[in-house]
Amino acid sequence: MKKRWFILFAVLLAAVLALSACSQKSTYECTDPYGCINIGPNDPIKMGVAVVLSGPNESLGVDEVGGVEIAVDDFTAANKDWLGKHTIQVVKEDAQCSAEGGQTAAQKLAADKSIVGVIGTACSSAGEPASKILSDAHIVMISPSNTAPSLTDPQTHAECYLRTAHNDKVQGKAVAEFAYNVLGARTMATIHDGSPYAEQLQQVACDVFTQLGGQCVAQEAINVGDTDMRPVLTKIAASKPDVLYYPIFIQEGALITQQAKEVPGLENTVLMGSDGMISPDFVKAAGAAAEGMYLSGPAAVDDQNFNKKYEAKYGQEPPSAFHLHAYDATMMLLDAIKKVAVVDKDGTIHIPRKALCEALFSTKDFKGLTGTLTCNEYGDCADPKINIYQIQDGKYVPVWPQK
């Protein structure tokens, strides 16, 4: 019996010695308070993508995955020497368009200690829990399309969260100004679906509209998954608003668009939506009823070069409005990694986590495809330009601001 214990002890001792010998081989010593990611000489650099990959809003996520993958290709091509034997691996998770989805995806990614950073999420509802979980795990997260003001609010902002999408304080203001000044509307009604994106965006629009001198006559809400919108529309029709603004998502948005045409009292009401519904899928779902409706969204940067790459890789045009934001987010992340990473003689890459986070927050005058990006202390990096589009013959045509 004693002999056995001795053997076990000896084996353990040998193991400990062997391990310490291994670590001695490296000349790098990690001093980062959040720890470092060590990528072996032949291992890939792993980054996560957590966007919506199923359900009615799938096109939004597919669009962004394309942006990320093209950025990875471009970065790899331009940094062959620095990467050496390393490749960049993209780990995809479905964060859906809900708080539960965001939580699951973020927890899965946070459990993988070799993930350097995460691009995502697509929806603000998924972004709220995901930003907290990833920041607690000291993983940086850059969202290409979260727009809810609360995510970069000084009070509620998660430590290592940034975004390349506009803040809805800007978008809501644009909607209100367009409705008041261009459409000449004086009364507005809104519908949201309880998601942080829709609820906060309609609130900003209403606040600005009221400041301009208009009146918000009704602020209603529906549930995700509701189909019969006629009762709530009948209620809104009782106040005969000039503009009905519903910044929600494709499925429910399409139902409201169709049913608003059938509810008496809304014949002269102009319909408006926002970037959650900018997708060919929306036009397909809403059909002819969508014709003439206005939607706000990020300014169309018609990047032919990017579109060509996208079509060559996926055989279709980018299906939504945030592929360039995803591209910029990925480029920002990879640039920052390159800046803070320490490469050992044997090819091992060490990435200090806190330094990476700080490097991203100090991004200044970054030349991206969506404009020149500069991050503030709460993670807003966008160079926000909002357009109002009108659906004409099934296409999104920018109508405001005029060029």
Partner 1 sequence: MIAKLKRYLERLTFVDIVVQLFGWAILLVAIIGVIGSLHNSYYTKEQWMDFVVFGISQGGVYALIALGYTLVYGILFMINFAHGDIFMAGAFTGYFLAAKLDAYGFYNTHPIISLLLVMLLAMATSVVVALITERVAYRPLRRAPRLVPLITAIGASFTIEYTFRGFYGSGVEAYPELAIVAGKTTVLGVRILKVHLLVIVVSILMMAGLYFYVQYTKAGKAMRAVAEDKDVAALMGVDVDRVIVNTFILGAALAGVAGVLYALIFKQVHFFMGFIPGIKAFTAAVVGGIGNVPGAMLGGFFLGIFESLGPGLILEGLGIPASYQLKDVIAFTLLVVVLIFRPTGILGERLSEEKV
Of 60, 106, 254, 260, the one binding partner 1 by CB under 8 A = 254
Which region among 143-151, 231-239, 346-354, 373-381 touches partner 1 (by CB under 8 A)?
231-239
The interface mask with partner 1, positions 284-303, x = CB under 8 A, is xxxxx---------------
Question: Residue written as tokens 């203001």?
Answer: 173
Decide whether 193 or 380 has the Cβ nearer to partner 1: 193
288 Cα distance to chain centroid: 29
Decide whether 158 or 283 has the Cβ nearer to partner 1: 283
**CA Rg value for the chain:** 24
Site size toward partner 1 (CB under 8 A) is 36
- What do you get for the CA distance between the two ends of the chain, in Å? 87
Decide whether 235 or 364 has the Cβ nearer to partner 1: 235
Which region among 54-62, 82-90, 144-152, 240-248 touches partner 1 (by CB under 8 A)?
54-62
Of 25, 85, 235, 345, the one binding partner 1 by CB under 8 A = 235
d(CA 382, CA 163): 7
Q: Considering Cα of 200, then 248, then 94, then 319, what sign does the dihedral take? A: negative
Q: Is 167 a residue that touches partner 1 (CB under 8 A)?
A: no
Q: Give the other-Cβ count within 10 Å of 92's Cβ.
A: 16
d(CA 358, CA 356): 5
Q: Are 128 and 196 in contact (CB under 8 A)?
A: yes
Please state the closest distance from residue 74 (CB atom) to partner 1, in A.
29
Q: What is the DSSP letter of 37?
A: E
Alpha-carbon dihedral 80, 81, 82, 85, rounded to 10 degrees = 70
d(CA 167, CA 152): 8
Please state the closest distance from residue 105 (CB atom) to partner 1, in A.
17
Please state the closest distance from residue 287 (CB atom) to partner 1, in A.
5
- Calculate helix-pair angle for 304-314, 58-78, nearest 10 degrees: 100
Decide whether 79 or 234 has the Cβ nearer to partner 1: 234
Which region among 55-63, 324-332, 351-359, 385-393 touches partner 1 (by CB under 8 A)?
55-63
d(CA 134, CA 113): 11
d(CA 400, CA 286): 23
Which region among 79-87, 101-109, 151-159, 283-291 touches partner 1 (by CB under 8 A)?
283-291
Decide whether 124 or 195 has the Cβ nearer to partner 1: 195
Site for partner 1 in 209-228 (CB under 8 A): 219-223, 225-228
Of 250, 271, 295, 336, the one binding partner 1 by CB under 8 A = 250
Please state the closest distance from residue 316 (CB atom) to partner 1, in A.
13
Q: Is 194 a residue that touches partner 1 (CB under 8 A)?
A: yes
Of 15, 19, 238, 397, the one binding partner 1 by CB under 8 A = 238
What's the farthest any 2 CA atoms get from each other in the chain? Answer: 92
Tokens standing for residue 163: 């975004």
Q: Which residues pair with residue 305 across a beta bridge?
A: none
d(CA 148, CA 197): 5
Of 73, 112, 262, 317, the one binding partner 1 by CB under 8 A = 262
Residues of this chain that bind partner 1 (CB under 8 A)? 54-56, 58-59, 194, 219-223, 225-228, 230-232, 234-235, 237-238, 250-251, 254-255, 258, 262-264, 281, 284-288
